[in-house]
Amino acid sequence: MNKSMIKKFYLSLSSIFIFLIHLPFVFAKIKPAENTPAKPASHIISGFNGTIPLANNLPLIYDSLKLNTLGLSRQAFDYALKGFNYLKSLGKVHNDNILSIVDFSLPSNQKRLFILDLKNYKILFNTYVAHGRNSGKEYASKFSNANQSYESSLGFYVTGDTYSGNHGYSLRLEGEESGINDNALSRGVVMHSAWYVNENIAKSQGYIGRSQGCPAIPENLHKPIIEKIKNGSCLFLYSPDKNYLNNSKILKQAV
């Protein structure tokens, strides 16, 4: 074997040796493919009907909590949520975990007060609520913002503080809609208990008693309800009343 061939042999052998030495380092730089990690469960909430996405999807609470089976109209819920978000954007709603809806499209012998926990996605209360004596008998169909009208006032309210008055433990309501319910405080429209708001009366005569315009609630529930919704939560009194729907600035401005 001549010197030239020997030299080529040793060069090839050294190249192979150098390659084998560096081989582990080459593979060390190549990371194996990893599975895409699952997204955290914080974007999912539990409802009575499975799971629903959390962010910006509060309207899905209606289906998740099966509010339709309890009688709450979808329009009442959608309007309530729009007004709630609007008042919250103005900084008027401080207790923003709670949304209360009175659905006057239902007769008074049905449980038409719905109090929802928007944070924990629960129905806190679903019970009876009275309308004004001059608003109607079984159904509330007439509404007024005038003093001594003894009619209910529709629209959005923000709950105030509590006090003890003629009807015991009561809750002040601040009407947020000019010309529609902004006379609530001067009219003495508050949330209080009433003996005539109960299931027995509803069953016996087909409707519960009526108030002077206040959303009166059952005696056995008024304290826990008032405690839960007081101090800056949103309350919406709904009816498919064309006059209200056409004149509510909150509904027009709410996105």
**Where do the structural domains in the chain lie, given as residue ranges?**
47-253
Residue 49, C-beta contacts closer than 8 angstroms, at least 6 positions apart: 63, 64, 65, 66
CA-to-CA distance for 130 and 213, rounded, in angstroms?
Answer: 8
In this prediction, residue 59 has a pLDDT band, given cuts at 50, 70 and 90, of confident
pTM of the model: 0.79
Phi/psi for 241 (5° steps) reads -75, 120
How much is the pLDDT for 254? 83
What class does CATH assign to 47-253? mainly beta
CA-to-CA distance for 18 and 30, rounded, in angstroms?
Answer: 19
CA-to-CA distance for 203 and 199, rounded, in angstroms?
Answer: 6
Which amino acid, 192?
Answer: H
CA-to-CA distance for 96 and 59, rounded, in angstroms?
Answer: 15
Residue 143 predicted with pLDDT over 50? yes
Span 182-239, pLDDT tens digits? 999 999 999 999 999 999 999 999 999 999 999 999 999 999 999 999 999 999 999 9
Residue 112's closest CA among 96, 98, 95, 131?
Answer: 131
Contact 191, 167 (CB under 8 A): no
Average predicted confidence (pLDDT) for the chain = 85
In this prediction, residue 58 has a pLDDT band, given cuts at 50, 70 and 90, of confident
In this prediction, residue 146 has a pLDDT band, given cuts at 50, 70 and 90, of very high
Residue 167, C-beta contacts closer than 8 angstroms, at least 6 positions apart: 190, 192, 193, 194, 216
